[in-house]
Structure 1
């Protein structure tokens, strides 16, 4: 009987072979081509547009599943209703909040970026997502940009080195990273239509490198277009950006997804490189032709254009091929690992990123770390000590399973040894997307109460900064001012007049002006730190963690210190129609250092509770060909009494160039952990091929021969040694 059954099974199997697209032994390419050959034109078109707020269709007839996407780069967003922006109110979608990417960048630790990506990928996988909408790598051009907290700072080299392991980590979990916003989405004001103009040099040297690294090194499976225009075309269907640069020059084989509502034209959406259209002003209801999913630019209009011959079938096939490739890499990958959600391991990753990302900006008289034995009463002041920072901010808003506030973390750290009290000090009002709601609390009453309590305190820990409200660090609107909002500068001034022992902790994703900088003994830049926020801040304040974060962008003294704000309004924020990047390649420290503007705190800067000494650096030779790699070695010693970590940074200067170049550009860094008294030899590998500029005539990067200088230090301004080398 067994023999008969086996023979029958073999006969049936031979008569009904597994289709190639379902055969896991075949390559993704073979499976994609087979599936494409079996699909109707209607099914191909259906792949290219949304079916709900956060999903697009598969091919049900062939058993090919739909694609489910989710915000965002710092945690998996709560579930959204099918046809509206309302939350679905599930009970199982409370996530873990990871620190914002500005914090991740400040760690200067690519290995930590890989752990971050893997953890958030596992969270998205558990929630049955195929695409996580992040990370963001738009360049920090102005400190007023409402979404800077979502990005990785002002330097393209740093962002490139941090984004690649993040993308790889996410995709190891079987979830596609969707790198955003491609490209030049560097402000929120008029983001839906502002037309950006800039030189090719600025485009290729500053604004594209992190995207290029994510695609060519990280092998990202998807890219999100940006809302703005570039040279007259919206970036979600921009021929130069998508067809030429992304898909031809960089050989990107993944899918281009619109930002939600980022498509505007039937023909451009079809022909200029877009693959999946999401969120085009729809409620999903077929009662309205205008708002139905089938009337997206890449829906019925595309189907009609293909059937009429206005759009070649191969254009549609290319879109469908890319979407199928995305599906076969994720939901139809037979080796896709299982996910996990809000685990102790993920909390550890979030905690490690938060602790490593916090930057100690000032520490006079070693007031930090706090020794609770010296103080009977500690007063915590500031709304940000208790406010949930995962609420608001736009699409990065999260519903967290837990979030430790700074006040709770401080009480946990010091409460058993001294009295810890709290005064709100100021109030910002509730969070609301797209509008600003003032607080109903009386500002004078809050200030006076904080000052009264400060009279009786031995130490004041001020926890303020920005928040996720509209016109703060929030999608949909830029900051109105470089100043601290909600009367905080006045409050800090009153506290200082009452009690000189004030430690200022700034929670923000942007630089802020600090008119009180010389009047307080200590300043800590704390970022948006996610679920482990309070524990991480308390760990640094107490000395349990020795701070090692470095600023991923420059803190100017005033707003017009920045290149984007040194010209007229056409440079920033534009005239509502057009914007011209007049500072060109001189973004961030490139502007400050080249123009010799003294910053409040420079790029790459951050203090420690211990001290480090850098020995004399050496290079393997002094003359190099353009394809060589400079191997620089230097001994780093922890000369203090505490274990700690330092970031060695190498900046390249081209001494004589045929085109204007910045004074220095970051081209290498290494974060080194050292025990107290320990020394290590640190080696940096610096490819000479990366020292060039983009030549607008030949349209390629060019390294000219001549003398270069390697500036070795611990920030863009703290240069310890200069090593001359020659490129032959």
Structure 2
């Protein structure tokens, strides 16, 4: 009886909550109607374009505030001048630098994604920002893309599951997340004009799901258009992407913001989905402040077309309605929290994400962990051991309150060791859009590093990429798959001098590894933010057991990557057009289906312990299309230390009317186990997620027949398998 009463009360409470939400939404829309009726046409148009580098105007006479934006998604960018790209020189805009989104994706931990969003949202709110320009969910298509470090990997399911809680966390603070870059912005080379040609199935199965999840599950309040073209029309003002899919099929009720300078035409900007135009004249002022901003495509030219009746006023009303809706959710919200910045909780979240994101890729003879109590001589070699990774990289660069380097983190965690440091190579200073040659003599640096290696018991080489132009940086792609700055030759020299070498790769991208068989250990460390050095020392010392898994595949050579295997028209294009010839076979879908062995597969990551999978069961063996499948199995920690393992559920459709990948990720669960502990793990997925996108019917189809469920530790390592039937 008590249980029944409780159920009734809960149901009643749920109805009240739904009714209250409906009432709040209705009340908000009524207020928007009232405001719209009081706005002049000039005022409406003014709200649709920038008034400075990072703000759009309000209407002071009606008490409507400005909207202030900030670059993200790894922290709130330092304050920029009103009319140019220079920093304003504030002394109170230093923030917590959070790990790059590749590191977050590597945690395979949606709960951490929510903590990340809450913390960065609090910092944005404290800095009085209304829109945080992130997160990014463009799919990792090529390891040369300069902005891959800002995104969440190659798999649309993983990106979808990680982006939703991030958005929720940010927006709990009354700050809008702004998911970007919609869509198909998968390279920096020719990004402003390259015309991407991709079939509808690939678009919907690979490149749109994370955006769709951000809208339909994340409830994101704003979205940023991309620079590139799609099928002949710029993405930011693309009828199919914006009107038909985003605001039509997905019923997006938020604001579309242009990337800075991604609008190109008044008619298209007005009619095809753009709501706030930013940065169209990114060189700052032209003749005067008024001319610069009033000359935007959604400024004076838009006003004249509205005034003449060439464009109906309902067009601007829809844009302003969306902008006001955003304002009621953010800057005009009644119950907006105050935010916080640079507190211990934020640093703790950043460090936890960093340690969970580090991926152990090789560990011969238990090279890692290195005992911090032994009296060792450790040579730390490589510029990335000391180079700042929060500055540079383009719009995601940060003004961090502090940044602990890998060298500093190792020094503090190993007080009993003798730490020797040698730079090894030099990359020169970071500069956006250009390469500044280093002043140091590279041969001298290399020889000094080899001499340092000879004096050590252990060598930790901290190398990889950095935030310089043509590395992991906006505005240009990498020029080579190899490690830059002659690091391969440097590593060969170090290994010849001292074979006891472990490599720490700091990068947001895969790299070639001709030295892999010669080193004892390898960690993928990403860009880890303020506490990078502490997080690395946590894992190197064994204080934290590594549990990260790769969010994208590492090819042995560049030609093994799907996009590159089809030649220049596939990547980078001919400077005008580009064709995604690999279709849906992106990342592990390509490697598994074509039976090409990667250097390291998607979802791969070692641990300081071992795990055993057994006893696979499903809740039944035959399913209808509207059913859910629960897969359960036993996971046991068979080692001597506690550790976390991410079990991954893949689905195969062996017989289908269309080509399907060998397998696709459809579920995962990260499980923490003490030494010797076993747990029954359950992963539930809907049968509908087995669907493919039908170009003929323009819908999602699950064909009846047999499907194979695989429980894996990576895309390439199957532990358990079972066949089920869909009626």
Normalising by the residue count of structure 1, what TM-score does the alignment of the two structures yield?
0.96
2: CA distance, partners of 1:568 / 1:657: 29
Measured in 1, the distance between the counterparts of 2:54 and 2:318 equals 22
Greater alpha carbon shift after TM alignment, 201-210 vs 610-619? 610-619
Q: 1:291-370 to 2 correspondence within 5 Å?
A: 292-370=292-370
SS across alignment from 2:605: coil
**Alpha-carbon distance in 2 for matches of 1:674, 1:320:** 52
> What is the match of residue 7 of structure 2?
none
Q: Is the 8 A contact 1:482 1:512 kept in 2?
A: yes
Name the structure 2 match of 1:380.
380
What are the within-5 Å matches in structure 2 for residues 88-127 of structure 1? Answer: 88-127=88-127
Cα deviation, residue 473, structure 1: 0.1
Counting only pairs closer than 5 Å after superposition, residues 564-603 of structure 1 correspond to structure 2 as 564-603=563-602
Shift of 1:452: 0.7
Asked if the contact 1:286/1:293 (under 8 Å) is kept, the reply is no
CA displacement at 1:372 relative to structure 2: 4.0
- 1:462-541 matches, within 5 Å, as 462-541=461-540
Is the Cα–Cα contact under 8 Å of residues 613 and 720 in structure 2 kept in the other structure? Answer: no
Q: CA contact under 8 A between 2:649 and 2:666: conserved in structure 1?
A: yes
Which residue of structure 2 aligns with residue 616 of structure 1? 615
1:479 deviates by: 0.2
Rounded Cα–Cα distance in structure 1 between residues aligned with 2:251 and 2:25? 25
- Residue 421 of structure 2 is matched in structure 1 by 422
Task: Tell me if the contact between 1:281 and 1:291 (Cα under 8 Å) persists in the aligned partners.
Answer: no
Assess if the C-alpha contact under 8 Å between 1:74 and 1:97 holds in 2.
yes
Report how far residue 27 of structure 1 moved.
2.6
DSSP-derived class of the 1:51 partner: coil
Q: Match for residue 398 of structure 1? A: 398
Deviation sequence 1:288-315 (CA, Å, 0-9, x none) = 5995101100011111111111111111
Q: Distance in 2 between matches of 1:289 and 1:381?
A: 50
Shift of 1:164: 0.2
Quick one: structure 1 residues 169 and 668, their matched pair in 2 at CA, closer, same or farther if it must change by over 3 Å? same
Root-mean-square deviation (CA, aligned residues, Å) is 1.2
Q: Secondary structure at the match of 1:657?
A: coil
1:212 correspondence with 2:212: yes
Distance 1:670 1:357 in 2: 15
2:688 — aligned with what?
689
Partner of 2:64: 64
* 3-state DSSP of counterpart to 2:69: strand
Distance 2:235 2:165 in 1: 26
Q: What is the rounded CA distance, in whole Å, between the counterparts of 1:369 and 1:280 in structure 2?
A: 51
Q: Which residue of 2 aligns with 1:85?
A: 85
Where 1:292 maps in the other structure, the secondary structure is helix
8 Å CA contact 2:225, 2:262 repeated in 1 = yes
Shift of the alpha carbon at 1:376?
Answer: 2.5
Question: Secondary structure of 1:27's match?
Answer: helix
Aligned length: 705
Within a 5 Å distance, the mapping from 1:149-298 to structure 2 comes to 149-282=149-282, 285=285, 287=287, 292-298=292-298
Please report how far the alpha carbon of residue 419 of structure 1 lies from its aligned counterpart in structure 2 after TM superposition: 0.5
Tell me which residue corresponds to 2:709.
710
Quick one: distance in 2 between partners of 1:405 and 1:716? Answer: 33
Q: String of CA shifts for 1:196-253, please: whole Å, max 9, x gaps.
A: 0010011000000000000000000000000000001101100000001000100000
Task: Choose 313-322 or 148-157, whichever is displaced more.
Answer: 313-322
List gaps (5 residues or longer) in structure 2.
1-22
Per-residue deviation, residues 82-128 of structure 1 (Å, max 9, x unmatched): 00000000000011100000000000000000000010000000000
TM-score, normalised with respect to structure 2? 0.96
- Paired with 2:289 and 2:681, the residues of 1 have a C-alpha distance of 63
Give 3-state SS (helix, strand or coil) of 1:227's partner.
coil
Q: Distance in 2 between matches of 1:28 and 1:617?
A: 50
Mean Cα deviation higher: 200-209 or 32-41: 32-41
**CA-CA distance at 1:283 after TM superposition:** 5.5
User: Where does residue 632 of structure 2 map in the other structure?
Assistant: 633
1:444 aligns with 2:474: no
Q: Which moved more, 1:373-382 or 1:656-665?
A: 373-382
Are the structure 2 counterparts of residues 26 and 211 from structure 1 closer, same or farther at C-alpha, using a change threshold of 3 Å? Answer: closer
Q: What secondary structure sits across from 1:515 in the alignment?
A: coil
For the residues of structure 1 that align with 2:424 and 2:574, how far apart are their CA atoms? 38
Q: Which runs of 4+ in 1 moved over 6 A?
A: 23-26
Q: Which residue of 1 aligns with 2:553?
A: 554
8 Å contact 1:283–1:292 — kept in the other structure?
Answer: no
Q: Deviations over 1:153-211 (max 9, x none)?
A: 00000000000000010000100000000000000000000000010011000000000
Structure 1 residue 261: deviation in Å?
0.4
The question of whether the paired residues in 2 share the 8 Å contact of 1:705 and 1:726 is answered with: yes
Specify the alignment match of 1:36 in structure 2: 36
**Alpha-carbon distance in 1 for matches of 2:628, 2:327:** 39
Residue 450 of structure 2: SS of its match in structure 1?
helix
* TM-aligned CA deviation for residue 456 of structure 1: 1.1
Aligned to 1:15: none
- For 1:486 and 1:424, locate their aligned partners in 2 and report how far apart those are by CA, in whole Å: 12
- SS for the counterpart of 2:316 is helix
- Would the aligned equivalents of 1:28 and 1:329 in 2 still touch at CA under 8 Å? no
* Comparing 27-36 and 284-293, the one that deviates more: 284-293
Q: Does the 8 Å CA contact 2:125/2:175 hold for their aligned counterparts?
A: yes
Q: Distance in 1 between matches of 2:148 and 2:28?
A: 36
In structure 1, the residue corresponding to 2:612 is in which secondary structure?
Answer: strand
**What CA deviation, in whole Å up to 9, does each residue of 1:642-674 have, x standing for no partner?**
011000100000010000010000000000011
Once the 2 structures are TM-superposed, how far is the Cα of residue 285 of structure 1 from its aligned partner? 4.2
CA distance in 2, matches of 1:547, 1:512: 21
Are 2:641 and 2:675, in contact at CA under 8 Å, matched by a contact in 1?
yes
Distance in 2 (CA, whole Å) between partners of 1:410 and 1:422 is 11
Aligned partners of 2:690 and 2:397: how far apart in 1? 39
Contact 1:282 1:292 in 2 (8 A): no
Partners of 1:124 and 1:74 in 2: how far apart? 11
- Structure 1 residues 538, 306: CA separation in 2 closer, same or farther (over 3 Å shift)? same
> What whole-Å deviation, never above 9, does each CA across 1:42-61 have from its counterpart, x for those lacking one?
11111100000000011111
The 3-state SS of whatever aligns with 1:52 is coil
- In 1, Cα distance between the equivalents of 2:578 and 2:61? 48
Residues 662/291 of structure 1: CA separation in 2 closer, same or farther (3 Å cut): farther
Structure 1 range deviating more: 159-168 or 609-618: 609-618
Instruction: Say if 1:228 and 1:676 are closer, same or farther in 2 by CA, change over 3 A.
Output: same
Kept in 2, the 8 Å contact 1:484–1:513? The answer is: yes
- Distance, in Å, in 1 between the alignment partners of 2:28 and 2:538 is 47
Maintained 8 Å contact 2:227/2:259: yes
Shift of 1:679: 1.1
Deviation at 1:25, TM superposition (A): 10
Is 2:260–2:282's contact at 8 Å kept on the other side of the alignment? no
